[in-house]
Structure 1
Amino acid sequence: MPAGGLDFATPVSPGGYRWWYLDALSDDGHHGLTIIAFIGSVFSPYYAWSGRKAPEDHVCLNVALYGPRARWAMTERGHRTLDRDTDRLTIGPSALQWDGDRLTVEIDEIAVPLPRRIRGRVRLIPESLSHRPFVLDGQERHRWWPLAPVSRIEVELDRPALRWSGPAYLDSNAGEEALETAFRFWTWSRAAHKEGATVAYDAQRRDGSDIFLGLDFDRRGQVREIELPPPTRLQSGLWGVRRAARCDRGDVQLMRTFEDAPFYTRSQLSGRLCGRQVAAVHESLDLDRFAMPLVKLMLPFRMPRRSG
């Protein structure tokens, strides 16, 4: 991949996936945002039921707004709606454009379960780019690239009417097989602080081994691996998904739960990590649960599929 890793044209092999993920919190603390563009949507029941033969026929832009005007959209679409080259990825009526120093996301999606439109523009401006990807499994079939861990975002939406800015994060994941083939469970968090950002990745592999990554990013794009404090257990989600976060001697507070699903939670945390006061976005993913047929039958309610 080219410097920066934003080559949207990189092929995705049958059975595989690629996604580009960004999240942000507003400076005033009232709003949050997550956007994920998928090729070979890893959480799609339709992709799983198809045998994962054609990842480009299972694409979507997941948009989640948190706060006073919360909305959530994740409409899966087929290959006819996908257009991409090195710097631009179009999925249906929405698109991501990289111009060398910022990522612009043009959003035009319909929320579920209430059919309300999400339309507008988001600009993510990295303070620097990281050129170092990481392998997550022993077979080197799953890779994670924290592209721009220290960024700013500008949100300008018409529907709903929202204008805000704040600290943001951008990464990309790619793999050659289903996530649940290689992993049982993982927790991940990115913690913003004055010096930059600290990212924690804890994954339980299907083969019984574990991976623990502690990465500290400064505002110049330099990264160093660090030893993180032990995890502190947090209150489980309503569906029972367990949560644990790296923090200094239990100094962590669960501020908000953004997502609470049968196999997944996304949360906002506050506390101290490696001696710094941080505001963090945290996720827990239970892939044993996701692999259950009953869970997949529940997903179309939140993840409709359209041919166009």
Structure 2
Amino acid sequence: MSDCGIKAVSVIGFIGSVFSPWYAWSGRKDPANHCCINVATYGPGGRFTMTDRGREALKTTANTFTVGPSSMHWNGDALVINVNEIASPPLISRVRGQIIVTPHALTSVEMPLTEDGTHVWRPFAPSADIKVDLEAKGWQWSGHGYFDANFGTRALEQDFSFWTWGRYPTRDGATCIYDATRRDGTTLDAAVAFDRDGRAWMVDAPPRTPFRRSLWQVRRETRADPETTPRQVLNMLDAPFYSRSVVQTQLNGEIVTGVHEALDLNRFASPLIKPMLAVRVPRRRDWPAP
């Protein structure tokens, strides 16, 4: 998020693009053949890019992840992201430039999200500085960010029906909330606090509290002190099965504002969703172009 609070950016690298209809239609048997660097900018002039690419576009080393024309590189101190993508409708245009994420500290935390470890969350840097320099008017800014990863050996909709996630900067560092309803009827109710040195510990958080649904009527909830109702302060991404937004809530007496996600896996599992996604997620099998 920008320091001014009106702009934001998200970048997600995928090997086995979990939200790609092309990967689902392929049977999810070859993750490397469905890779992507998804870039989305939020605020005035915001754009969305998510091109599903074939294995010819994927190159990895110990420190660099490249998919087609875009890449992420760890230089020892920061994650340098070079972006060169085409935005999907309605604002079809090139999104090009550089984003640098500099962690305040790195963690060694790894948290299974299911009992058998089919899904794992890895928060590399729950608190970081971000510098954005894109080739678009007004898209040169600095702010606060984070860097994490998820790993899985099964489709999300196989193991979960609904989940929410939130990362809230605090006066001492950051608190991450991971809540989910699993297909086996159990729930994940996790709150992890991080200090400025990257140390982490589980904490008691106030109860799950619902707040206003998204524009697509996706159910949303996060943690909040009693008699406090969370509220959206910036809409980021709104899809039939997914909501990403900036949310303000109160955790153990501290008012915090951070990025929140809600994911309805029952909706995502619907076969009607995949053709809708294909409009926003084009497929480019060959790289470079023949």
What TM bracket, shorter-length normalisation? over 0.9
Question: Could you tell me which of 197, 203, 207 is aligned with 1:226?
Answer: 203
1:36 partner letter: I
Give the secondary structure class of the aligned counterpart of 1:159.
Answer: coil
Residue 13 of structure 1 aligns with which residue? Answer: none
Taking the TM superposition and a 5 Å limit, the aligned residue runs for 1:61-76 are 61-76=37-52
Q: Whole-Å Cα distance in 1 between the matches of residues 171 and 40 of structure 2?
A: 26
Q: Whole-Å Cα distance in 2 between the matches of residues 160 and 52 of structure 1?
A: 39
Residue 20 of structure 2 aligns with which residue? Answer: 44
Please state how far the C-alpha of 1:251 moved relative to its aligned partner: 4.5
Q: Whole-Å Cα distance in 2 between the matches of residues 187 and 31 of structure 1?
A: 22
Task: Judge conservation of contact 1:135–1:143 (CA < 8 Å) in 2.
Answer: yes
**Residue 234 (structure 2) pairs with residue 267 (structure 1):** no
**Residue 130 (structure 2) pairs with residue 153 (structure 1):** yes
CA displacement 1:273-294 (0-9 Å, x = unmatched): 1222211110000111111100
Please state how far the C-alpha of 1:297 moved relative to its aligned partner: 1.6
Give the secondary structure class of the aligned counterpart of 1:140.
Answer: coil
1:108 partner letter: N
Q: Whole-Å Cα distance in 2 between the matches of residues 213 and 253 of structure 1?
A: 21
Please state how far the C-alpha of 1:92 moved relative to its aligned partner: 0.5
Residue 7 of structure 1 aligns with which residue? Answer: none
Question: Could you tell me which of 134, 149, 160 is aligned with 2:111?
Answer: 134
- Output the aligned Cα RMSD: 1.1
Please state how far the C-alpha of 1:191 moved relative to its aligned partner: 0.4
Task: Judge conservation of contact 1:133–1:143 (CA < 8 Å) in 2.
Answer: yes
Please give the TM-score of this superposition, normalised by the length of structure 2: 0.95
Please state how far the C-alpha of 1:260 moved relative to its aligned partner: 1.3
Residue 232 of structure 2 aligns with which residue? Answer: 254
Q: Whole-Å Cα distance in 2 between the matches of residues 253 and 81 of structure 1?
A: 40
Please state how far the C-alpha of 1:69 moved relative to its aligned partner: 2.0
Residue 293 of structure 1 aligns with which residue? Answer: 271
CA displacement 1:173-207 (0-9 Å, x = unmatched): 11111111111110000001221111000011111
Question: Could you tell me which of 271, 283, 286 is aligned with 1:305?
Answer: 283
Task: Judge conservation of contact 1:117–1:159 (CA < 8 Å) in 2.
Answer: no
Gaps of 5+ in 2: none
Residue 60 of structure 2 aligns with which residue? Answer: 84
Question: What is the aligned residue count?
Answer: 284
CA displacement 1:90-138 (0-9 Å, x = unmatched): 0010000001221000000000103211100000000101101000012
Q: Whole-Å Cα distance in 2 between the matches of residues 132 and 179 of structure 1?
A: 21
Q: Whole-Å Cα distance in 2 between the matches of residues 184 and 227 of structure 1?
A: 24
Please state how far the C-alpha of 1:210 moved relative to its aligned partner: 0.5
Please state how far the C-alpha of 1:56 moved relative to its aligned partner: 0.3
Task: Judge conservation of contact 2:211–2:229 (CA < 8 Å) in 1.
Answer: no
| Larger deviation, residues 160-169 vs 239-248 | 160-169
2:158 partner letter: T
Please give the TM-score of this superposition, normalised by the length of structure 1: 0.90
Q: Whole-Å Cα distance in 2 between the matches of residues 266 and 107 of structure 1?
A: 21
Runs of 4+ with >2 A deviation: none
CA displacement 1:138-178 (0-9 Å, x = unmatched): 22111110110011101111135511111101101111111
Please state how far the C-alpha of 1:237 moved relative to its aligned partner: 1.5
Gaps of 5+ in 1: 1-24
